Chains A and B, each alone.
Chain A
């Protein structure tokens, strides 16, 4: 369609979109949960006022420091700027301190982080966009999902991907180590990145068909890589290792005491496992196979996060989850070792590693699924199958985030934003892959449409029924189980597409 008013190029579209999103965030800034700000304020306070040896022992506030040391150093640096705004916010006992200057500082830091993030997204898209004629898709999905998360670590992911595209492997490795030391959640994708670097970088040449050429192993490169990674870790963890606090730091970073699932189960395998366990126990009691007194008290659907046992199926330990995770990502790592497919293959492996860790991990937070969706959105604009999987996964996971915004005031906002995102991605992907039939098969469409009655029941109908008082967490359970089905389905499909994809990147591109 030709327009009366010419919309010039990619650039202006991007700025318009970025501006629009920023404005929306500004309007909604009053609605941001005070807990996020309080967490941030607490960390600023304790890094500023306490000596280093106390950082991981401090527990005045419930929001203890549970990010790696580099993030703590970053907060320390930020606290010196915060000094100029309001010294009182840096006093640790001042819980929930919220003077106007404090709030201003927090908001400014959000805005600055956003600006940096947008810049990074722009750079990333510049390298990855080969064909100017394409509609801009990856970016809106980046931006819209980030609306809920402001996860500035993702900017580094984009930089890494950008580096890959330009073959700046050293920089990429360094950035990734930094990333890992800022937020240990990126441990999810560390195997993928590590294997990829080893395979593509340390072995300088591949054979004609893409397979490994053992002779081309470069010790020099491996040593340099190792040095970069180890030195980053040393800078970050060094002081704590010297103080002998490593076990304490690790226990804060990986709180295994917290239980297999959140109060609200993340939609992964363990949600399905839990529901199966519940079903078996109920059926067992009904058919007199089990003695109701011998079963441990139902605490999984309770609100508190604590260790608990499964009644019928074997209980799951942290080690078991680790093993399952490794088993789930091993085939993908083998595939990328055997035949790396350049940036696309790496992205695919990245997605699978992130998803696998999400599916089988211990005490996973629902937000973690975003790590899988972002790389997937980059793949979605190039391949039809990936577009279908992306739609399934993104809609399901966005819906699974709904329980995080539970006030009535936020209800219209989350519905509008979700619809906005879904319609936008659906319509633009449809336009992109116009030829060749529908992106989603009927089963998938039914599943996605089923989210509408689910939302109506959980949000509107259920609170008015009698069961609201006796089983208050039933809607949450329903939501996580339903979404877990979708996520598992996407995981399986992704794996199948990885294992069956051909070796050349040309074949995966759209005609």
Chain B
């Protein structure tokens, strides 16, 4: 079959599954007084439409910051403004100041879902297609298979089209950034990534690899000559983009400070709710949240994050190519997720995106990670009433990606990129069959996740530990993520050379 038909079929399948998930419930549906993220997005449309710019981030009589105050950078606000204009055209009641709080109706839900679909089609999906087209090895069927697997990643679909968020915008822009850098268009890539950063501040998780990659490239081009000019151009692009995005807020020095205060609420504490990261899991054994002072917590988190990011970033600095870049993105975002301050469970999507990009090179581990990341959000999804889509999309993703990418066949030690590791351990454990061990671990972990999903839905937790199941889910996911960060660090740091010549050729 021709390329265009394969790609369009792939896109149509992705779109159909997205819209099918959107039929289901959203966060905070029918739960006054606070509702959920869906109401937050609607409220931001109301605020940005009705209030002047200088009031958006401030606590005024018209803008109660305790009721879903804006806590994303300006680009999100502008996006909400545009959506609000459309909403006003369709039904002014949706964005009526104060009166529209908690507004819920079938047509409004359709409108909101349509806005997500629209931005998805505009930003995320073309980026995925272009990525697979340009940077995927293999025949066109292989490329389409990869694109389909990436598009069917359950986590993003469930959060964007179920829970309700606009992650596809920030992740899509970041992907455009990666595309730009991969194609050698550094300025375009930096522009796209800066826009992503200005859409959601969590993109900072990705910023260090971007910085190291560009710096490394410039250094390679010679820090005195071309490299310096390149660096200057990139910095200028970044600064100008920032200035343009923050322009309405630059008139008064109080404005940017307040915005930053909203974006980085250090007052909030080490973690909230149940997240699959170190602090939350440690808290089960030692109550670090109460034991240590705020400063110690901050310091500890900073130190550990740095510890895990530094090796990967330095390696990237020394060898700035696309493969290292992708792995560094994975390592950096995972490190931030595991050790940083105020992490939400949805932030795992930031690590999931770069893992999607390596799904073609290390299919088994990537699929394993992606499934775990979806599983780690299970408590959130169950709370939103998204159990059925969760089960269906995860199973569909599991079977289709294992089948399309032949993940189980492509899991020799060489292909798992653990050749060097194997050579080192050959002394102590000569009979170790890494490939078989990893496959067994994969199946075992799937069974554990399925069992825990099942029990957390069907069984009642004991009265003494009402939070038992979410805690178990986060601890299990945490252990997985710890294993993954070690694995990906190993793969990145032990990479002797990009073995392009030894890639499978058929």
Question: Which residues of A does B touch, CB under 8 Å?
Answer: 1-6, 12, 16, 19-20, 23-24, 26-31, 135, 408-409, 412-413, 416-417, 419-420, 423-424, 426-428, 430-431
Contact = CB atoms under 8 A, between A and B. Distances in A.
B8 A27 contact: no
Contact of B5 (A12, A19, A28, A423): A423
Interface centre among B9, B20, B141, B389 (most CB of A within 10 A): B20
Interface in B27-51: none
B186 to A, nearest CB: 30
Contacts of A30: 23-24, 388
B117 A412 contact: yes
B141 A420 contact: no
The 3 closest A-B pairs by CB, nearest first: A427-B5, A27-B20, A5-B406
Interface residues of B, number: 43
B219 interface: no
A417 B19 CA distance: 11
Given A5-B404, A5-B405, A23 B138 contact: no
Given A16-B400, A19-B396, A424-B9, A412 B15 contact: yes
B33 to A, nearest CB: 27
A4 B504 contact: yes
23 contacts: A2-B139, A2-B506, A3-B139, A3-B506, A4-B138, A5-B142, A5-B404, A6-B406, A20-B13, A23-B393, A23-B396, A27-B17, A27-B388, A27-B392, A30-B23, A30-B388, A409-B23, A409-B106, A413-B16, A420-B9, A423-B8, A424-B5, A427-B5
A416 B16 contact: yes
Given A4-B504, A12-B403, A24 B141 contact: no
Given A12-B403, A19-B399, A427-B1, A420 B12 contact: yes
Contacts of B142: 3-5
B23 A31 contact: yes
Interface in B366-420: 388-389, 392-393, 395-396, 399-400, 403-406, 409-410
B139 A420 contact: no
A463 to B, nearest CB: 13
Classify the interface of chain B: helix, strand, loop or mixed.
Answer: helix
Classify the interface of chain A: helix, strand, loop or mixed.
Answer: helix
A39 B355 CA distance: 48
Contacts of B147: none
B1 A5 contact: no
A416 B1 contact: no
Contacts of A4: 137-139, 142, 504, 506
B145 A5 contact: yes
A470 to B, nearest CB: 24
Contacts of B21: 27
A28 B396 CA distance: 14
Contacts of A1: 139-141
A16 B107 CA distance: 35
A24 B16 contact: yes
A408 B12 contact: no
Contacts of B506: 2-4
A253 B403 CA distance: 47
Contact of A408 (B2, B110, B140, B409): B110
